[in-house]
């Protein structure tokens, strides 16, 4: 198990055994390079701990625990967890500020405790059968089972597998903010943290100027905490406001010259290097760029190996490449995940507000929208028009899902050959029902914060970076930032087509005007064009009838009809095709063959 995760911790490995239990760790040395190897124990050796992640308030906790009489043998954050558990029992997790997946063996109680951070930044899988518990950071270290058909249904709806599911029956993800306790062969689970938007009417009432200044201060505090490291730290810089704000603050807080990393494309509409370069020049960062000359077939097959579950967010490709670029110079990078969900950065939030007023008009416009030819541009007008007119009449949560839905229930049924008794949107509904007192947009943001962010964006960032033994940190998901974001009124997040209103105002003194007020950016790729061009042969090869019949999950005639329709520009079906290709390649590499240690793939790019 430990050997299969060597890429997550190439610097050292450790194990601890106590009768019938064992815990193991791979270490990526970032803090306390000399004495921080895991597992680590408390003074009397009763409590042993391993963790994946970073605890940003470990120094404060260490001082508090030292004053209470605890003695330390190391200087990092992992041993603090052992003493914190010794002092506070199962309440230890509520006191941690950071990103973590933790396992604690309590020899006195003969119990194992697993904990995952409140936003699900770090992954944690487990499998409990016949009284035996196995757990790991990635699925590849656990036994495989039969494909979970409910998980597959959810994958087709979302292009990712949401918690608590994994793609295999019997293996589950520990949800964010949860503890799992194994004792006497039995498992109990409880939630220790649930960040919630405030109730309607309880939002912060200060002026935009006051709140923007407070946000800037909180962001600076978070970035400062996320820079704590005994090795160099860099920033993924996409040219958008989120990553640019991180770069600006990190450059101001760093003791040396900050390193920044970005990916560009030869396709001009997808290239973000100009905005990133402006920020890098303003703060005199040690800036590294890659202009991608796509070898998409090679990279798609590489991603199928990197991701231990089927995963079809195509932006994983540039995230993987920028991680490889950064790993040459640093062991840690700051990344902007969470900014859109917290501060209202997605076009779908504007669509949510507009649909409440334009629903009847959308019904009238739909036949005309359906006639629009499909463009290969980034989130093209025809794509947005079709999505809007198809979903605007639905109830709030269902239409919010409709903006992003991959395969509709009808198309999933046609593709799979039967109706499923499971509706993946029920996972959204369960989350949505927990926030009944909040304003509607805040409730929809909370759904995104708890499902797609966790199981799509954070998975993408974790697997892509750790494949190159690089730790990605996400300062927007620090509680000092989220506590403010979850209390903001709608007017400071989204108004009409204006998004991230407060965040942009907070960033104005620090960034060029065109970066602060430019369109949304990110590491996205020209998937629609590729699937009509150089990737079309791969799509037809991978989704060939013989392959799909052998695997037995998708109807070949439906899959190939989607290819034909996309190539003919009748509709942008790149997300659906990417999902089918990603699943089929993943199945070949992780089910039909035994997955081995990750291999380092060469870059299909040229440095600018």
Q: What is the pLDDT of residues 218-248, one digit of tens each?
A: 999 999 999 999 899 999 998 899 999 999 9
Per-residue model confidence (pLDDT) at position 608: 38
The domains of the chain, with CATH numbers, are: 3-148+160-191 (3.60.20.10), 208-343+453-516 (3.40.50.620)
Per-residue model confidence (pLDDT) at position 177: 98
Confidence of residue 369 (pLDDT cuts 50, 70, 90): low
Per-residue model confidence (pLDDT) at position 277: 92
Mean pLDDT in residue range 205-219: 98
pTM tops 0.85: yes
Contacts of 578 (CB under 8 A, 6+ apart): 159, 312, 314, 527, 531
Q: Using a pLDDT cut of 90, give the percent of the chain over it.
A: 78
Report the candidate in 470, 478, 31 with the shortest Cα–Cα distance to residue 228.
Answer: 31
Per-residue model confidence (pLDDT) at position 598: 77
Confidence of residue 382 (pLDDT cuts 50, 70, 90): confident
Report the candidate in 167, 170, 163, 169 with the shortest Cα–Cα distance to residue 187.
Answer: 170
Average pLDDT value for the chain: 92
Per-residue model confidence (pLDDT) at position 603: 47
Confidence of residue 291 (pLDDT cuts 50, 70, 90): confident
Mean pLDDT in residue range 83-90: 97
Report yes or no: 577 and 565 within 8 Å, Cβ to Cβ.
Answer: no
Mean pLDDT in residue range 251-271: 82
Pairing assessment for the beta strands 47-55 and 40-41 based on DSSP bridges? antiparallel
Confidence of residue 597 (pLDDT cuts 50, 70, 90): confident
Per-residue model confidence (pLDDT) at position 157: 97
Tell me: pLDDT of 512 over 90: yes
Q: Is 183 helix (H, G, I), strand (E, B) or coil?
A: strand
Helices (H) and strands (E) in the chain, counts: 25, 19
227 vs 240, 252, 256, 400, 471, CA distance in Å?
Answer: 21, 11, 12, 35, 12
Cβ neighbour number for residue 185 with a 10 Å cutoff:
10
Tell me: pLDDT of 360 over 80: no
Cβ neighbour number for residue 364 with a 10 Å cutoff:
10
Confidence of residue 271 (pLDDT cuts 50, 70, 90): low
* Phi-psi label, residue 45: left if phi above 0, alpha if psi -120 to 50, beta otherwise: left
Per-residue model confidence (pLDDT) at position 293: 65
Confidence of residue 268 (pLDDT cuts 50, 70, 90): low
605 vs 172, 263, 286, 499, CA distance in Å?
Answer: 36, 9, 20, 33
Give burial (CB, 10 Å; 0-12/13-18/19+) of 442: buried
Confidence of residue 390 (pLDDT cuts 50, 70, 90): confident
Tell me: pLDDT of 515 over 70: yes
Mean pLDDT in residue range 8-30: 93
pLDDT digits over 174-201, tens only? 999 999 999 999 999 999 999 999 999 9
Name the more confident of 144 and 520. Answer: 144
Element (H, E) at 594: none
Sign of CA dihedral 409, 410, 411, 416: positive
Per-residue model confidence (pLDDT) at position 34: 80
Mean pLDDT in residue range 577-595: 93
Q: Is 287 helix (H, G, I), strand (E, B) or coil?
A: strand
User: How far is the C-alpha of 139 from the C-alpha of 151, rounded, in Å?
Assistant: 14
């Amino acid at each position: 198990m430990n050997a299969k995760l060597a890429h997550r911790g190439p610097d050292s490995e450790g194990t601890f055994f106590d009768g019938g239990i064992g815990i193991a760790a791979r270490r990526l040395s970032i803090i306390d390079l000399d004495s921080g190897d895991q597992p680590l124990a408390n003074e009397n050796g009763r409590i042993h701990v391993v963790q994946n992640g970073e605890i940003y308030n470990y120094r404060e906790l260490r001082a508090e625990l030292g004053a209470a009489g605890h003695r330390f043998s190391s200087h990092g954050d992992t041993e603090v967890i052992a003493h914190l558990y010794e002092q506070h029992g199962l309440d230890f997790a509520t006191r941690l500020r950071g990103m973590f997946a933790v396992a604690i063996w309590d020899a006195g109680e003969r119990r194992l405790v697993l904990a995952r951070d409140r936003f699900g930044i770090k992954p944690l899988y487990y499998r409990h059968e016949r009284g035996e518990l196995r757990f790991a950071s990635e699925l590849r270290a656990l036994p495989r089972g039969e494909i979970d058909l409910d998980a597959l249904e959810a994958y087709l709806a979302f292009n990712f597998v949401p918690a608590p599911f994994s793609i295999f029956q019997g293996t589950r993800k520990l949800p964010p903010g949860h503890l799992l306790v194994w004792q006497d062969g039995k498992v109990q689970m409880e939630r220790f943290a649930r960040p919630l938007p405030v109730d309607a009417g309880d939002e912060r009432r200060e002026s935009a100027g006051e709140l923007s200044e407070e946000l800037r201060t909180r962001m600076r505090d978070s970035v400062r905490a996320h820079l704590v490291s005994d090795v160099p730290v860099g920033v993924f810089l996409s040219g958008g406001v989120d990553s640019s704000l991180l770069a600006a603050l990190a450059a101001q807080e760093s003791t040396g010259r900050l390193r920044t990393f970005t990916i560009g494309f030869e396709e001009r509409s997808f290239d973000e290097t100009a905005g990133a370069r402006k920020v890098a020049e303003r703060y005199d960062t040690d800036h590294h760029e890659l202009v991608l000359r796509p070898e998409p077939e090679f990279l798609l097959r590489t991603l199928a190996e990197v991701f231990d579950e089927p995963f079809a967010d195509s932006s994983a490709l540039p995230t993987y490449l920028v991680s490889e670029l950064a790993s040459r110079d640093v062991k840690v990078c700051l990344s902007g995940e969470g900014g859109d969900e917290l501060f209202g950065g997605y076009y779908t939030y504007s669509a949510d507000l507009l649909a409440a007023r334009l629903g009847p008009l959308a019904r009238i416009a739909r036949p005309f929208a359906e006639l629009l030819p499909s463009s290969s541009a980034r989130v093209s007008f025809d794509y947005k028009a079709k999505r809007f007119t198809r979903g605007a009449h639905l109830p709030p949560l269902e239409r919010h899902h409709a903006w992003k839905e991959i395969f509709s229930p009808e198309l999933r049924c046609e593709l799979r050959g039967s109706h499923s008794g499971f509706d993946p949107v029920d996972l959204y509904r369960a989350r949505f029902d927990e926030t009944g007192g909040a304003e509607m947009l805040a409730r929809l943001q909370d759904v995104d914060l708890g499902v797609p962010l966790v199981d799509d964006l954070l998975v993408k960032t974790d697997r892509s970076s750790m494949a190159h033994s690089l730790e990605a940190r996400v300062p927007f998901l620090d509680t000092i930032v989220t506590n403010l974001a979850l209390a903001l009124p709608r007017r400071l997040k989204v108004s009409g087509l204006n998004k991230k209103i407060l965040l942009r105002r907070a960033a104005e003194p620090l960034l060029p005007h065109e970066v602060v007020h430019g369109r949304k950016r990110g590491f996205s790729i020209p998937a629609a064009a590729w699937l009509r061009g150089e990737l079309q042969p791969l799509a037809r090869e991978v989704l060939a009838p013989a392959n799909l019949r052998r695997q037995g999950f998708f109807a070949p005639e439906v899959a190939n009809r989607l290819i034909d329709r996309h190539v003919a520009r009748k509709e942008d079906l790149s997300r659906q095709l990417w999902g089918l290709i990603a699943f089929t390649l993943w199945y070949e590499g992780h089910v039909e063959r035994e997955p081995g240690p990750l291999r380092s793939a060469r870059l299909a790019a040229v440095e600018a």
